[in-house]
Amino acid sequence: MEQLTLEDTVSSQFKTLEELNKSIVTSFVPSDAKEQKRAFLKGQIVNPDHDYSKLDNRDYDETAEAIQVAGEVILTNPLLNPKFKTEYEQFIDRYQKNNRLMQLAREYNAAFDPIERDEIRREYMRLNIELFGEPDEGIYRSLLQDKLQAIAGKELTGRALELRNELFERVQIDDSVEAIERFKPSDETVEWMHGVAETMYSGMLSHVPDGESFTEREVQEIFEAIIKEEFEESADSWTVTIEPAKSINVKVDKKRVVIPDDRGNIDRKTVRELIVHELGVHMLRSIIGDETDLELLKNGLNGFADAEEGLGKIMEQALNGTFVEAGVGHYITAGLAYHDSKDFREIYEINWRLAALEGVNEDGDITSETIEEKQDNAYGATMRIMRGTDELPLFKDLSYYNGSIAMWRFLESIIGDDVKFMFVFMGRGDPSNIKHQRVQYETATV
């Protein structure tokens, strides 16, 4: 491994550190996803057993050592602003934990001895919770019971009635669950943010042509036009690609927006929401952070993830002028696995019935086409939480619920305060975190 020198700038050294970090989401994409999904949905297998070959293409111990060496070079660089040393230490530590979590996933998948697997599982879950938090049992049960109560009150017939009976055999209404008053922003805050979204994103959204839906290629062209004409020279090195992926996402370290090659047509409303979420939050905050003398504001300060995803969901809701609890499905899926110890198949069977019965048609019945659609969607939703091992829940997607609620609380507390609102877009930090605010205050534009 090539040794870094103290003469290098902090920026160039940080780029070396970035190259050592691998995305958990990308690494947890299996090579046989389509085959396993097909076999699962046909009932040929009880639970998927994916080939996570991407996890095998790495020496994790060597990477950990390389991260340590690169981190020490940055921390001892005389050009490093001492005010930001703690932030760099936390960032390096996060890279180490990401690396270790992926190593544990690989070890768990390869282990056969029950005692060894249990030891790996405990460390994996401990680190998983440390990185992403854990589903609060009270919130999980409250969200689930709300859905069950709503379904119980529906007038159903035919197959829909059968599905409800099947659902309640798998998960029951529990009257002993305490009612939790979950946070909801005021109408005034939602209206304020609706105005903010309309003003901020009018230029970006003007690139969406008339039409009911758009292909992957058409969405790529829309994104490229926005990047070229709205971001201009600040985004010269950014690209938009169509490639295998689980979802449309922004890779800030690669300066790339990724569109899945099998996404299919996307309706106009969703395209507008994707613009404000992916380009208007993830990309914009990274670009602004990249223009400061603190590299970490481009990638994200330690503990920024919930705020990042929360703001993305908030801007979608603000655009539509409606508050909706975000990430409820992810939260329930994680709770089913974590608090009720249900496996992939059990979670899937609950998930698709919940989704199907929520959208039951006016005559109280449900079509076979709808059932097939909900089953397909439920597989993906279950996979998002169980990816990496197919058995252990990954809590990364709790950020949609936790982050959106935390950010709505923050916005409620500063309603109409333009000065405090600036923290939202001063790089990838948590605007409600006083320590992050201090760091953002102390940065300078380069």
Tens digit of each residue's pLDDT (9 = 90 or more) over 420-444 = 999 999 999 999 999 999 999 999 8
Distance (Å, rounded) from C-alpha 270 to C-alpha 316?
Answer: 9
| Confidence check: pLDDT of 314 > 70 | yes
In this prediction, residue 3 has a pLDDT band, given cuts at 50, 70 and 90, of low
| Confidence check: pLDDT of 141 > 50 | yes
Sheet strands (E) in 131-276: 213-214, 239-243, 249-251, 256-260, 266-267
Distance (Å, rounded) from C-alpha 270 to C-alpha 46?
Answer: 33
Sheet strands (E) in 363-411: none
Structural contact between residues 259 and 248, judged by C-beta atoms closer than 8 angstroms: yes
Distance (Å, rounded) from C-alpha 388 to C-alpha 23?
Answer: 12
Distance (Å, rounded) from C-alpha 86 to C-alpha 160?
Answer: 56
Tens digit of each residue's pLDDT (9 = 90 or more) over 363-380 = 788 999 999 999 999 999
pTM for the full predicted model: 0.91
Distance (Å, rounded) from C-alpha 284 to C-alpha 98?
Answer: 24
Cβ partners under 8 Å of residue 344, min gap 6: 47, 48, 382, 386, 390, 391
Rounded mean pLDDT, 104-126: 97
Cα Rg of the chain (Å, integer)? 23
CA atoms within 13 A on the CB side of 111: 17
The region of weakest confidence among 4-18, 118-132, 358-372 is: 4-18
Helices (H), ranges, 206-304? 216-226, 268-274, 284-290, 296-299
pLDDT of residue 96: 97
Rounded mean pLDDT, 234-259: 92
Structural contact between residues 163 and 353, judged by C-beta atoms closer than 8 angstroms: yes
336, amino acid identity: L
134, amino acid identity: E
What's the first-to-final CA gap in the chain, in angstroms? 31
Structural contact between residues 62 and 98, judged by C-beta atoms closer than 8 angstroms: no
What does the buried/exposed string (b/e) look like for 152-191 if buried means 16 or more CB atoms within 10 Å of the residue's CB?
eeeebeebbbebbeebeeebeeeeebeeeeeeebeeebbe
444 CB-contact burial (10 Å; exposed 0-12 / middle 13-18 / buried 19+): exposed
Distance (Å, rounded) from C-alpha 234 to C-alpha 226?
Answer: 12
Here the tokens at position 204 are 């970006």
Average pLDDT score, the chain: 94
pLDDT of residue 56: 93
Instruction: Give the domain ranges of the chain.
Output: 10-22+58-132, 187-325+400-442
Which residue do the tokens 């659609």 mark? Answer: 373
The region of weakest confidence among 143-147, 293-297, 393-397 is: 293-297
pLDDT of residue 364: 85
C-alpha 434 chain-centroid distance: 23
DSSP summary character for residue 340: S
pLDDT of residue 26: 87
Distances in Å between the Cα of 227 and the Cα atoms of 105, 170, 282 are 36, 48, 13
DSSP summary character for residue 55: G
In this prediction, residue 245 has a pLDDT band, given cuts at 50, 70 and 90, of confident
pLDDT of residue 4: 47
Distance (Å, rounded) from C-alpha 239 to C-alpha 236?
Answer: 8
Which residue do the tokens 């069950």 mark? Answer: 148
